Structure 1
């Protein structure tokens, strides 16, 4: 073989290898689809409590449907329209199972998105992982939904409830070290995770400081009797782990009793329009919670570009929605996160790649994130929101105080 022939042969081989590598890159990657994805459509499934005891959350689903309507009007994602299929599960786990099976087996969605509630998500977690269908950005902060080792097809969105509980414990130890704590909690994994976090944060002082742990069931008509009991036990700090209907009841009943304990409320029930206003602004003064997003009722953000963009979106796509509700800012923010994941998927719309991209979010900050709050995930870290800031209710809105607190602190 001549030197010329050998050089040409080696050159051709190198060129062929380069072409193969280039073709396998994003530029010339072949389109890959799983059920729910085509050249023109991405089908997404969701259950939400449009009825039942947690129906206050249904506005989250409505704002997300409006968001993807906006995206579709703008041409979709990588040329594909989003088909968001939504069913009512009434915050009832057996109904969630029925509806999710329908989404997977009849509607053949590519993924499920933002199923709401700890118990509803727990009811379908093994099923979806067995089917290898993404259970993406679940609307719960229970620790079991950020466990990539045991549930690689499940990724939660909300801050970890146990971490939130530890943050409240730190606040209590710093500001109310002699408090007599009464715990009111929903009797499921949602409530129990918060109790675990509080006790872990209080450490050796937990047994002496917590004087009562009183559960309620989501089917209870009211929690008035639980509030009366807490007062009778001499509680001076209420650790209130409830969903919106019961949060508003608790705030109102505490006021009716002319009782003035320190009141800590979980992040899931801080909506001004959905909780504080129904409870009565005059009754909610001084309630403490945490947040990671801009409060739409805070004039601090009136000229903020992200808030202006959200308000313009609401005016056009969800005009009947409450512009003072953090549920509507929350739903918008999660929809933006899913949009990022789907755009990163490009033309590889397989379920495996959806999870790969969800676990590859880097330093993201969205329209309504508080300054300094970023989203980063990895194959070993499925926590999406890992930073929080303390807030206190004053007047008709929440006010932030203190530094940004990191989950890992």
Structure 2
């Protein structure tokens, strides 16, 4: 007889609760920072391509050192490594706080300020290359293996909840206290994350190949990902969807020039997808998504593309918010299934490298999607760029459903039952 599902299984571990506080503080600060930067850059330039360059400045370091970062994470203690990552982000936040001061705007020209922002974003991209693999690996050291699916759901839910509040507060704080002091709030949350992290103990390094040559380590990591069809399919599908469905990068243009709703409306638009995703993720703690995971993931990404298409065509603020809300709801399904696949299918000694490949496929595609959206908006117009992205997402899902029947039939029920049997 199957055991009754415990939706709070992961929350019964003290360090996991502290980990969620760390993740909330960091994601809140990072998502708020990205929004404030977007607003500041577009206000300075009024150029959609400048928004795309923000994404490009993050993706260059993220892709160039991601695999090395995964190797480094697998070879080192995770808790102290995360401390160093958060310290790096804190310094970037401090730099953005200083560069956004009114006295700096009076002393330096617009180009100098803009390039300084790009430089700090680039440094943040270096830090981000290490944060993703470190967090992914640390979860597996905090909770037992049988709890991985539930822990992945709560971790993703925390990420989304922080993504709701971060953009929403960013929009309102820009209006209430301005860009400069909004950056100060971001700096404060990064310091808070460090304080929380001090309550988590150091963890053992579960890698039988410590000291393995870098090239061999990277080769083994890539070989594992490309030979594991479930992981490769999930990452590929989500990468293409995020790449062409990156309408959120153009939200400052929609808020200022198309819907004309100001910084408050911008905050609502930016938070709407995360609100939808948060609701989905909280519901999934009681209604798991591992059965028929392949079909559910395909339908989720199809729904995402459809919502992006509706958003691009909308001229009504409420309809735009609704479309973004629903896009987040179905994207939440996609995220949970993808994280569950990664947690269940990845051995402990390869978590850093697999998470790094994930960051290249999915995490970096957010920034590359922002660049793609900025370029297409510059060439064809903002609305046409979003419509193009939504259409390409729908075509991608259709192609995946037709040409990859094995992924369409993917079911994780057996994997979950095996983890439960290990209890």
Pick the TM interval, shorter chain. under 0.3
Q: Which has the larger radius of gyration?
A: 1
**Which structure features the higher share of strand residues?**
1
In terms of fraction of residues, the more helix-rich structure is 2
* Bigger relative contact order (CA 8 A; separation at least 6): 2
TM-score (norm 1): 0.28
Report the TM-score when normalising by structure 2.
Answer: 0.27
